[in-house]
Amino acid sequence: MTDDRTTLAMLSEQLADAAATAGAALVAVHARPRLPSTGVHWKDGVVVTTEATIRREDDIKVTLPDGRHIPATLAGRDRGTDLAVLRIASGSLPVATLGDPATLRPGHLVLALARLDAGGPRAAFGAVSATGGKWRCWKGGEIDSWLQSDLDIYPGFGGGPLVDATGRIHGVNSGGLSRALATTIPVATVNRVMTQLLERGYVARGWIGAAMQAVRLDPATQQRLKREGGLLLLSVEPDAPASRAELLVGDIVVAIDGKDVDGFDQLLDMLGGDVVGKKLKLEVVRAGQPVSVDVVIDQRPRGAR
Amino acid sequence: MTTMSAAFLSGPAERLRASVVGIANGRRGRRAAGGAAIAWSGDLFVTSAHVVTASHATIVTPDGRAVLGEVVRRDAERDIAVVRAPEAGVPAAVASDPYALRSGSLIFAVGHPFGVRDAVSVGVLQAVSPLPRGYGLNGKGSLVWVQADVRLAPGNSGGPLADAQGRVIGVAAMVVSGVALAVPAPDVERFLSGLT
């Protein structure tokens, strides 16, 4: 009985320690009416939060763990991965201790943390529900790994960290990334997007400037070219990489740089990385004949879908 | 260690459940459903004011007896009420100070969610403070609440929120923005002062 009580008390203390350790690197972000969101002091002078909680780009303030309010400036935001990055004065609070999300398995105890005011950090408790590989969320961004938990993301918890039982931060919780589920944007994605947002204020994504639809080739062409399907060009925008390369409506893209393409995921993967300004070799079926076309990938215009 | 992982909170929960009763307005039978109440000291039970709105209440003890109690003190604003039931004979719970706990500390609730007797739900403490700005509560937000990440439902009202040792840190009152709110145990002690 006594041992039972002691170990429970120890577990309780350990969870509270984890909340205190990780909570020391959290700020409340005031960038929307009424309720603040939570931000993680990811590296010195840089705070990460979720993009959807940034409703105004000027006059942003953050509340530090010691209760002080200090100004913050928006370095950049990326709707695709639901991340935003703020700059604050260097040395304002401790920097987050990051963990490796690959070490988390379903069933591991985790906390979601928030800071909403001058009080201490707030905690919600649960377990890792599922983990997995790379995925693309409905907002279009690529997330390096799937990390879902059964935590309740209370109002203001968005932008706060997922924390393990030792207080290490494994990512940023987003209430809006996959609808009803508590989903965590893992450390790798935060690092990648943060670097780009700090450098240029946005995440550059490759752009071809053509609308496409996945299609199957007709049986004769399939047999002749030893391919099953591709992406049919439905429209080509003026003054875009596709029109400059003289791609035509009706062309079917079957391969990019030697890799077969028969769906959007492959295309988005090709355009998601560091490809802006690079030349891609498109293999196209035009009027039943294979044609090779070089396209210089441009940057997706900001505000374009 | 191994004992803990399997048994988890069952020990403290069992001890606390012995001090939690069912309660309903007026003179009712032993199937009376409503909220929960906590045997606090002697023949005094603490519950939520919104659970007992009449002058008398029926208390259903853990061993299934229905006894009549008198509502001797009630504060609708703080949502707390005291019921005296000399015939109940239920052992008092142990109270503890929620201010001694930090955010993330293990807590659990005992109540009768949707009529399920003495159900246990587990979570962690969020804060002991007024509600954060933006959590709406029609002015009651300025009161200090024990705020917790734990699942409560109708029927938990008046029941305890307890620490990992099963000591009562608050009396469950309501859920706001998904957060469980309880009246802090020290407020309950103050509310009881003068009653014996």
Q: CA torsion A58→A63→A64→A68, rounded to 10°?
A: 100
Check residue A179 and give its pLDDT: 60
How many structural domains comprise chain A? 2
Radius of gyration of the CA atoms of chain B, in A: 16
Check residue B1 and give its pLDDT: 44
First to last CA, chain A: 61
Task: With CB atoms and an 8 Å threshold, state whether B4 touches A111.
Answer: no
**Domain of A265: which CATH number?**
2.30.42.10
| Pick from B4, B102, B124: CB nearest A124 | B124
With beta carbons under 8 A apart, name residues in chain B contacting A9.
Answer: 164-165
Check residue A78 and give its pLDDT: 93
Q: Which of B43, B62, B84 is the last residue of a domain?
A: B84
The A-side interface with B (CB below 8 A) comprises: 1, 3-5, 7-9, 11-13, 15-20, 23, 34-36, 111, 113, 116-117, 119-125, 152, 154-156
**Domain of A173: which CATH number?**
2.40.10.120
Check residue B132 and give its pLDDT: 85
Residue range(s) defining the domain that contains residue B126:
98-192
In a domain, residue B41? The reply is yes
Check residue B2 and give its pLDDT: 46
Check residue B140 and give its pLDDT: 63
The alpha carbon of residue A304 is apart from the nearest alpha carbon of chain B, in Å, by 34
Please say whether the beta carbons of B123 and B101 come within 8 A. no
Residue of chain B nearest A8, judged by CA positions: B164
Q: List, in sequence order, every residue forming a beta bridge with B106; answer none if it has no partner.
A: B124
Average pLDDT, integer, range B66-84 = 96
Tens-place pLDDT, residues A61-103? 999 999 999 999 999 999 889 999 999 999 999 999 999 999 9
Do residue B164 and residue B109 come from a single domain?
yes
Do residue B62 and residue B109 come from a single domain?
no
Average pLDDT, integer, range B82-106 = 96
In a domain, residue B2? The reply is no
In a domain, residue B36? The reply is yes
How many structural domains comprise chain B? 2
In a domain, residue B35? The reply is yes
Alpha carbon A176 to its chain's center: 11
Burial class (CB in 10 A: 0-12, 13-18, 19+), A136: middle
In a domain, residue B179? The reply is yes
Do residue B144 and residue B166 come from a single domain?
yes
Q: Which of A151, A182, A200 is the last residue of a domain?
A: A200
Do residue A229 and residue A115 come from a single domain?
no
Residue range(s) defining the domain that contains residue A67:
2-200
With a pLDDT cut of 90, the percent of chain B lying above it is 77
Q: For chain A, which ranges sit under pLDDT 50?
A: 1, 305
Q: Which of B84, B112, B137 is the last residue of a domain?
A: B84
Q: What is d(CA A220, CA B51) in angstroms, rounded to the nearest whole number?
A: 76
**Domain of B175: which CATH number?**
2.40.10.10
pLDDT band at residue B116 under the 50/70/90 scheme: confident
Do residue A103 and residue A6 come from a single domain?
yes
Do residue A215 and residue A140 come from a single domain?
no
Do residue B80 and residue B102 come from a single domain?
no
> Within 13 Å, how many C-alpha atoms sit on residue B70's CB side?
5
Task: With CB atoms and an 8 Å threshold, state whether A121 touches B135.
Answer: no
Task: With CB atoms and an 8 Å threshold, state whether A35 touches B12.
Answer: no
Check residue A43 and give its pLDDT: 97
